[in-house]
Chains A and B, each alone.
Chain A
Amino acid sequence: MKNFLFFFFISLTFFAQTKTITVCPSCTIKTIKKGVLSANDGDTVLVKKGVYKEHLIQLSKSIAIVGENYPIIDALGNKESIFAIKADNFSISGFKFINVGMSFTKEIAGIFVTNSKNFVLENNIFQDDFYAFIIQSSKYGVIKDNKITGHAVNETSSGNGVHVWKSSHIRIEGNTISGMRDGIYLEFVQKSHIFNNTSKNNVRYGLHFMFSHHNEYYQNEFKKNGAGVAVMFSKHIKMHNNTFHFNWGTASYGLLLKEINDADIFDNIFEQNTIGINIDGCNRIHYKNNHFIRNGWALKFTGGCYSNVFEFNNFMHNAFDLSYNSRLNNNKFEANYWSEYTGYDLNKDGIGDVPFRPVKLFSYVVNQTPETLVLLRSLFVDIINFSEKVSPVFTPDNLKDNTPLMNPVNPIE
């Protein structure tokens, strides 16, 4: 279907009578709104450099709107979206959208797309807009190489960078988002790919998605976000090669997983987060080849988590490798590298001969009474940890890595 439409579109541009409509401050057509009105399906609206004080440009045609040298569209703080789109086969590229107004009751965006198919939104710049993109009930869209910056102060008065709702087959690629509420927000989004994005310094989450199944997230960077990345109530998610770092604060996570089932989390780097991954009620997740470096907690379990597998991960220099809240354990830890491991390897096969217990007694105590954390690095704590290590009483007896590795897996510099 996708290919067919693509060729259909291409052939349209070849065989139909298409034209290019030029808009510039000194042309006959001075506003983008008029340019769009006078265009027919298949036309291109070329907008030259300049400042266009417009908002609520309605688009319901299959046209390409192209900006040359980043013409500025200034919404002047009006409480309407700049582009309100309900169309198939269109593209918008090369614009700079500024000053989209803030509202407590209405969602207002630079580009607001509803009930649309086959669209490309690329190479745009957004500055100080309430929302940059809102995509609703749409399919087969590409949001690519946009730069979104905002100066969000608090959660209530700010919007999201890329906000996608009830859509499918969306590709969010190569965007840079900073200073918004959520960098990328997805709700009821299926079969989408999110990759190569950088989301940093956002007030709430770098990436936030709920009820979004069968999606894939890779090669993204999430840095210094207020609360890291939150992933909730979703199934069959693949997350790989992402970097989560410097999400440091009292309520901050690298990655928050809530009610996630059947996911794959591979090759990610979690560095210097307060909590590397906070795992709440997640089942059948496969964690492999991840790096946990210098986090407060590398993994924190809060809630029933069953049948998860952790293998070939590196746990290096975390204050706590694992915090576990129950005495039952049904999760499997196998062949991970733990920098705190002090065992030996007599037959030199790279696998430690003594099992490693990642849950320390102190992390159990801290779970019960958070205030005791002030004793971190106290001699007393080292002593009780040692005694628990020798004979576990409080921590789950079977929560251990029977084949801890002696050397890190694919160490990174």
Chain B
Amino acid sequence: MLKILKYSIFDLLRSRWSYVYFVFYLILGFVLFFLNNDVNKAIITLMNIIIVLTPLIGTIFGVMYYYNSKEFTELLLAQPIKRSKIFMGQYLGVSLSLTLSLVLGIGIPFVLYGLFKSASIFDFGLLIVVGAFLNFIFVALAYNIALSNENKIKGFGYAILMWLFLAVVYDGIFMILAIKFKEYPLDKFALGAMMFNPIDLSRTLILLKLDISALLGYTGAVFKQFFGTSKGLIISLLILCLWVLFPLFRMRQKLLKKDF
């Protein structure tokens, strides 16, 4: 498995897209700090970008990588290697290289602009962790979709749709439900709804750390009580882990039955 992982990473590095991705974050980080020296503000802007872009890039990269390396995968499958090892290797390769680009790309400007001196190191750490989770989650989801669809166009279509659903449509549905049922106490519902979508969960985690909770009034108090404590943080991170593990589990089930 490690060999395949290594191969995947080198393959991605050779294709230069990881570099492009890395340089993009690097430039973004530097520009943000050049424009304002306030670490807190930079974190909010970065969050806006990471929450939308990381899932999108993860999804597209995952699907693309699967279809692109399909011939090589088939060659590997002819060898006496376990299927799960081949795909786990590839999956980890893609996720790790994306995460590496993200962490280095954003990390370098932060360190150079004196992050360690500021108090927001914890917020920044959370941002990086959340970004990494989003990478792992969306590459796993993308692999699932790709495995289930032989047709490339269909696969891409579903993958983009999945991203669109989680990033935009889900929030829309939540908003409509909240407006429809506004006579009822909605704070628990809102909490639950945010838990079931990795993008929303990541956003809420970071926003509450940046103390926007005061805007939320009563709901904010409920949220703060949950997310503000270490227990809430641990539960949220566990749920993010589940979001990685569940697609992986399904991928495995799919693999065992799939006829290549």
Contact = CB atoms under 8 A, between A and B. Distances in A.
Contact of B175 (A249, A317, A375, A379): A375
Interface stretch (A43-51, A201-209, A350-358, A366-374): A366-374
A379 B215 contact: no
A377 B207 CA distance: 9
Contact of B182 (A369, A374, A376): A369
Nearest to A294: B41
Given A365-B175, A372-B175, A376-B207, A249 B200 contact: no
Interface in A281-330: 296-297, 317, 319
Contacts of A319: 212, 215
B167 A368 contact: no
Nearest to A362: B175
A412 to B, nearest CB: 15
Interface in B214-252: 214-221, 223
Nearest to A320: B215
Contacts of B256: none
- Most chain A CB within 10 A, of B44, B204, B216, is at B216
B29 to A, nearest CB: 19
Interface residues of B, number: 37
A67 to B, nearest CB: 43
Given A249-B214, A374-B194, A375-B175, A369 B168 contact: no
B171 A371 contact: no
A274 B48 CA distance: 21
A370 B212 contact: no
B219 A373 contact: yes
A380 B219 contact: no
A375 B179 CA distance: 13
A105 interface: no
Interface in B42-85: 44, 47-48, 51-52
B214 A252 contact: yes
- Most chain A CB within 10 A, of B167, B168, B175, B187, is at B175
Contacts, number: 86
A319 to B, nearest CB: 6
Contacts of A379: 51-52, 167-168, 171
Interface in A345-395: 365, 368-381, 383
Contacts of A375: 171, 174-175, 200
- Most chain A CB within 10 A, of B47, B171, B172, B223, is at B171
Contacts of A251: 217
Interface in A224-253: 248-252
Interface string B165-190: 00111011011001100100011011
A370 B178 CA distance: 9
Q: Which 8 A-B pairs have the closest CB atoms?
A: A380-B171, A371-B186, A296-B215, A369-B182, A371-B190, A380-B168, A378-B171, A274-B214
Given A248-B211, A369-B178, A373-B216, 11 more contacts: A250-B217, A319-B215, A365-B179, A368-B179, A369-B186, A371-B186, A371-B187, A374-B204, A374-B219, A379-B167, A380-B171
15 contacts: A250-B216, A250-B220, A251-B217, A296-B214, A319-B215, A365-B179, A368-B179, A369-B179, A369-B182, A371-B187, A375-B174, A375-B200, A377-B203, A379-B51, A379-B168
